Amino acid sequence: AEAEAEALLLLQEAQESIEAARSYRRELEQRLQGLQQAREQIRETATLTREVLEQHFSDLKGTLKKLLDERLMSLLQEVDAIEQESIKPLDECQKLIEHGVTTANDLLQEGESAVHGDVGQQNEKLCSFTKKALHIQLDSLPEVPSLVDVPCLSAQLDDCLLTILKNQIFRHGTVASRPPVQLEEFVEKPGGILVRWCKVDDDFTPQDYRLQYRKSSASHFEDVYVGSETEFIVLHIDPNVDYQFRVCARGDGRQEWSPWSIPQIGRTTLVPHEWTAGLEGYSLSSRRNIALRNDSQSCGVLYSKAPTYVCGQTLTFRQVLSGIETVGQPDRRDSLGVCVEQQNGSDSLQRDRAVCISTNGAVFVNGKEMTNQLPAVTSGSTVTFDMEVVQLGPSSSEGGNFKLRVTISSNNREVVFDWVLDQCCVSLYFGCSFSYPGWKVLVF
């Protein structure tokens, strides 16, 4: 029996060692796979960087050659213009002199003929020759400019351009081993993803960030945010679908963007918040996450399609404008908030089993106004609701008192209070009610 027990113990230890060896091998294989992925990333990004550099400098050489050719052509045209403008008066002077030479030759021939002609006609010819010579004004000569008075073309080429270009070219472009910013965190939101990023290069001073995303099945990224913040909620995200995100930054005082961060996958499993369609007093956007109080005389509370707000999340209402619209007139019964159930006969959320904020900033809990008040809701205002469960007593989940700690924030101010309910409730409806047209609310 002792031998069998010892054999069983040895067998068990051997099996444990085998399992440990298998686990160790799996870990090593995973690390080998990680090394292979790292090696592939280095090689792929190095190849892409080479292609980018070669294409950039090829384009740069082509552009520089084009600019130099254009400048050369401009200077040659300037030489041609100066040459033509300067030669023209010389050509005119030459024509005048050549005409004078021809006239002098003719006059000279006529004079010699008169002198050596017949004696009977000599006086008449000499008289005619003398008159013609006086008319031509043989003492009047055209002025020929001296060499110092005519243009002497030359080209002035400053060799410092080469030095400037050389210095600029040697400083042009850099190669970075890693981007200065990286994606840090993805937080699921209903119908959206909160994306956070951070700076990883201590020597880099960012001025703006640029966030892009795409569905994993798409071929092109598109801009979704440009600004100075380090987080952004990307809305209109389909649940349970992978999206790729990447971020880059622009250094302080610079125009060009940094290299992109390593793309990462984000997704949300939370269905988007939607308003209930069909209520006469409200018009909804195509995704039903924006509600506009229209001109209808009907009034009432517009509720969410389902109790999609879950404790532990943040529910956000934002007043948005379209074109030159302004928000509607406020009314003391206007409300934005959450509730346990829908009550279709009510015209406001200022009732039992609901918490809300009115457009004038008053906070109501179960229909009673609190002494604490928040800033009024106006154009562009953002109101958020955060709730966490605080149970009272051991029987709280079985029908006893149930408490939610509520934080309502608006315009950088907040109120915190406990909302006591008579039953366990962690999924809530949200709603809004406005008496006058013009109010437009986005929920996410």
SS (H, E, C) the chain: CHHHHHHHHHHHHHHHHHHHHHHHHHHHHHHHHHHHHHHHHHHHHHHHHHHHHHHHHHHHHHHHHHHHHHHHHHHHHHHHHHHHHHHHHHHHHHHHHHHHHHHHHHHHHHHHHHHCCCHHHHHHHHHHHHHHHHHHCCCCCCCCCCHHHCCCCCCCCCCHHHHHHHHHHHHCCCCCCCCCEEEEEEEEECCEEEEEEEECCCCCCEEEEEEEEEECCCCCCEEEEEECCCEEEEECCCCCCCEEEEEEEEECCCCCECCCCCCEEECCCCCCCCECCCCCCEEECCCCCEEEECCCCCCCCEEECCCCEEECEEEEEEECCCCCCCCCCCCCCCEEEEECCCCCCCCCCCCCCEEEECCCCEEEECCEEEEEECCCCCCCCEEEEEEEEEECCCCHHHCCCEEEEEEEEECCEEEEEEEEECCCCCEEEEEEECCCCCCEEEEC
Q: Are 319 and 440 in contact (CB under 8 A)?
A: yes
Domains identified in the chain and CATH numbers: 20-171 (no CATH), 181-268 (2.60.40.10), 282-443 (2.60.120.920)
pLDDT at 378: 85
Angle at 87 between CA 86 and CA 93, to 5 degrees: 110
| Distances, alpha carbon 416 to alpha carbons 167, 173, 318, 388, in Å | 61, 53, 20, 11
Structure tokens at 419: 């909302």
Q: Can you give the pLDDT of all 444 residues of the chain as single tens digits?
A: 778 888 888 899 899 999 999 999 999 999 999 999 989 989 988 998 899 899 999 999 999 999 999 999 999 999 999 999 989 988 888 898 888 888 888 878 877 777 776 666 667 777 877 777 777 776 677 788 888 888 888 998 888 888 898 888 998 888 888 899 999 999 999 989 999 999 998 888 899 999 999 998 888 999 999 999 999 999 889 999 999 999 999 988 888 899 899 999 999 999 899 999 988 899 999 989 999 999 888 888 999 999 999 998 999 999 876 444 456 788 889 999 999 999 888 889 999 999 999 999 999 999 999 998 999 988 888 999 999 998 765 544 444 578 899 999 998 899 999 998 888 888 999 999 999 998 999 999
pTM: 0.62
pLDDT at 326: 57
pLDDT at 227: 94
Angle at 335 between CA 334 and CA 338, to 5 degrees: 165
Of 222, 282, 226, whose CA–CA distance to 250 is shortest? Answer: 226
- Say how many residues make up the chain: 444
Q: Are 235 and 256 in contact (CB under 8 A)?
A: no
Q: Are 183 and 230 in contact (CB under 8 A)?
A: no
* Residue 434: partners with Cβ closer than 8 Å, 6 or more residues away: 293, 328, 331, 334, 359
Q: Bridge-partner residues for 226, per DSSP?
A: 210
pLDDT at 399: 46
Structure tokens at 337: 């908030």
